[in-house]
Structure 1
């Protein structure tokens, strides 16, 4: 359900807003809630993929879904399960889509759990604490929330934009294709 929520910018902004005022005690329960949400959300995505993802991929004729599953398989093979799962945390769309695909692509449950907890903690705690540290080092940071949020959104979407651009270039450079997807020469 949280697929369309911009996690990076929300966590960073929440960290900014947790900044203590002069004389107040520092309270940052956000880090615990964010970490629990990141870990719980990834596990929640993994299990439906594990239970029904393989059957769905075997029966589907949806070309886009099959291409994305192949892309996820290559990503997991290229970086290894652990590194791929941790890296996926830091790329907005991949962070959400990789979890059910990892289940469908037979990533071992224990391996997935270990690395998604590691990546989830690094991502959730890191982004929230980065916002908190920025907020505590700049007085009146609330005046800069919109520009900071815009920068975070641009930085978060940059890897996705680069990947789309790379994919389009690869499609153009490989030449025209026939109905079956084979390259015409």
Structure 2
């Protein structure tokens, strides 16, 4: 028999955190985080909002995914945090490995309309200037977190430095989003009787706006500065 849910599938559901929770649960979420942080094709996946919503459903996900009941909210969050962080760390290592393997080829490649070697050198300068902080910051920026480890590998970032900040950045990102989702749900429910589970679409939109705002502002103001002619 063919699952009716599969027949009704539409690609836009891939942008909805609730879809992953309802159709795959804990292990689907683990895979999504791995894919978003380690595979080129994962840049569109809903990392921040998925982790936030995962925090809201933390106890249910642990009970169904690991068959462990009555763990309590804090322990459930810790279990989820460790499992998901492991997936994110491994994902970044995969991206870094791919970058290391493709880096020499790209540095020797001739410039084309779509490829400019100078951008690789600029990226290398950026990592040398900001160091591991760039890896940590990238975790909190959609799309950027997918390509940051790949670029780090391409420009030859030190393995030890990358490994340390990869672990620190991933734990910081995962636990921040999980705890924010869970405890904000508890706060709004107990204080205002407002259930975030009934307004997930609005929450997802809000998270997307907040997390993408720095990138958009950087692009807008960066271009405006370049367009401003020097004063005499």
TM-score (norm 2): 0.66
| Residue in 2 that maps onto 1:166 | 221
- Secondary structure at the counterpart of residue 41 of structure 1: helix
Shift of 1:34: 1.9
Shift of 1:6: 2.1
Which range moved further: 128-137 or 113-122?
128-137
- Secondary structure at the counterpart of residue 92 of structure 1: coil
- Alignment RMSD, CA only? 2.2
Instruction: State how far apart, in whole Å, the 2-side matches of 1:65 and 1:4 are.
Output: 22
Q: Is structure 2 residue 42 aligned with structure 1 residue 2?
A: yes
For residue 76 of structure 1, the aligned residue among 99, 116, 127 is: 127
Instruction: State how far apart, in whole Å, the 2-side matches of 1:34 and 1:49 are.
Output: 23
Instruction: State how far apart, in whole Å, the 1-side matches of 2:137 and 2:114 are.
Output: 23
C-alpha contact (below 8 Å) 1:17/1:135 kept by paired residues: no
Instruction: State how far apart, in whole Å, the 2-side matches of 1:64 and 1:88 are.
Output: 24
Structure 2: 5+ residue stretches without partners: 1-40, 61-69, 190-194
Deviation digits for residues 96-137 of structure 1 (CA, Å, limit 9, x no counterpart): 111111111111111101111110110011111111111222
Which range moved further: 88-97 or 146-155?
88-97
Matched positions, count = 171
| Residue in 2 that maps onto 1:36 | 86
Q: Is structure 2 residue 181 aligned with structure 1 residue 141?
A: no
| Residue in 1 that maps onto 2:95 | 45
C-alpha contact (below 8 Å) 2:43/2:142 kept by paired residues: no
Q: Identify which of structures 1 and 2 has the higher relative contact order when contacts are C-alpha pairs closer than 8 Å and 6+ apart.
A: 1
Matches within 5 A, 1:9-28: 9-18=49-58, 25-26=72-73, 27-28=76-77
Instruction: State how far apart, in whole Å, the 2-side matches of 1:63 and 1:159 are.
Output: 28
C-alpha contact (below 8 Å) 1:45/1:99 kept by paired residues: yes
